[in-house]
Amino acid sequence: NEGNEYFKEKDYGRAVAAYSEGLRRRCGDAELDAVLLTNRGAAHFHLGNYRSALNDAIQAKKLKPTHLKAIVRGALCHMELKNFSEAIAWCEEGLQIDSKEKKLVEMRAKADKLKGKELEGTFLGVQTGFSTHCQGRAVLGTDLLCERNIKLVLEPSDEEEEVSDGLAEISLDGFHSDSATGAKVHLDADGSLNWPVLFLYPEHEQTDFTVAFHENSRFIDHLTVMFAELPPWDLEKKYLPNNLELYFEDEEREEMYEVNPEHTLLQVLQHERYFVKAGTPTVLVFAKRSPFSKKYFSGKKVHRL
């Protein structure tokens, strides 16, 4: 109930924390747990944490295979992640339960259409036309980054070099930039940029992906939501929001820079040695004072806070 109140107030971070607390109570009621997971997934979805939202939908569906809300949420997550084949599969699963569910019918048609366009682009190989289009529109997007003093690394792929005259694999099209994961940096109604951000956990070879990290949001706020519940791979229970260290790597100089969790994404991106590669800012996450991090940083030049 507390989670639902926060959700109504659009305080999705606290809603996630409340639903997580409910799940931690392990009430033994599979139906209630399925509802808690689905609701937490909805809150994650509104925060742009589509991977976390999808994981919750998957777990909810395991507990209650006919839970239509979980299936709808899972399909929506796959749509946002551009996994159109998976979105279609989830839609079909839901339509077997209710063949007239409007959201699933509409999403199924949209996913089919988008999958067809994706295949068409693959088979036709319309790289030259795409390059010309992007060259004409790139200036506007680049200006947005220049205003913020954000440095973007453009890396032409081997296949594109010939046809695009060195145009980058990632190219700004107006306010959008395709990332390696299929998500896009985009401008919201308030004139702020929202970025896809990749979190790497080298010790466990795991990753987290946040699709829409508002440039003025702090890292600690995202970590609090992401680790409201311990991840299954954290058997030692070390990955708590206040027990984490963040770093980014300066590949050119082979140096590491510690990130202040209280800083916003924009503050980090504006660092003189931060370069955004493939349209996706990346941050490495370690448990504080862990033997692994000491070994990882051994022999490397590390700029501490």
Give CA separation, 257 vs 159, 286, 300, in Å: 33, 13, 11
How confident is the model at residue 18, as a pLDDT?
93
Count of C-beta atoms within a 10 Å radius of residue 113: 11
Q: Which sign does the torsion angle of CA 8, 9, 15, 18 carry?
A: negative
Single out the residue of 121, 150, 145 nearest to residue 133, CA to CA: 121
The DSSP code sequence of 142-185 is: HHHHHHHT-EEE----HHHHHHHTT--SS-EETTEEE-TTS-EE
Digit-by-digit pLDDT tens for the chain (305 residues) are 999 999 999 899 999 999 999 999 889 999 999 999 999 999 999 988 888 899 999 999 999 999 999 999 999 999 988 888 899 999 999 999 999 899 999 898 888 888 766 554 444 443 333 333 333 333 335 678 888 999 988 654 444 333 333 323 333 333 333 444 456 788 877 788 989 899 999 999 888 888 888 899 999 988 888 887 888 889 999 999 999 999 999 988 889 999 999 999 999 999 999 999 888 899 999 999 999 999 999 989 999 98
Beta bridge partners of 255: 250, 301
| Euclidean distance between CA atoms 182 and 179, whole angstroms | 5
How confident is the model at residue 183, as a pLDDT?
67
How confident is the model at residue 63, as a pLDDT?
94
CB-based burial of residue 230 (10 Å sphere; 0-12 exposed, 13-18 middle, 19+ buried)?
middle
190 and 172 in contact (C-beta within 8 Å)?
Answer: no
Using the structure block, give the residue that is written with the tokens 């998957």: 58
Q: What is the set of domains in the chain, with CATH numbers?
A: 1-124 (1.25.40.10), 141-153+181-304 (3.10.20.90)
How confident is the model at residue 154, as a pLDDT?
65
181 and 196 in contact (C-beta within 8 Å)?
Answer: yes
In terms of pTM, does the model score above 0.85? Answer: no
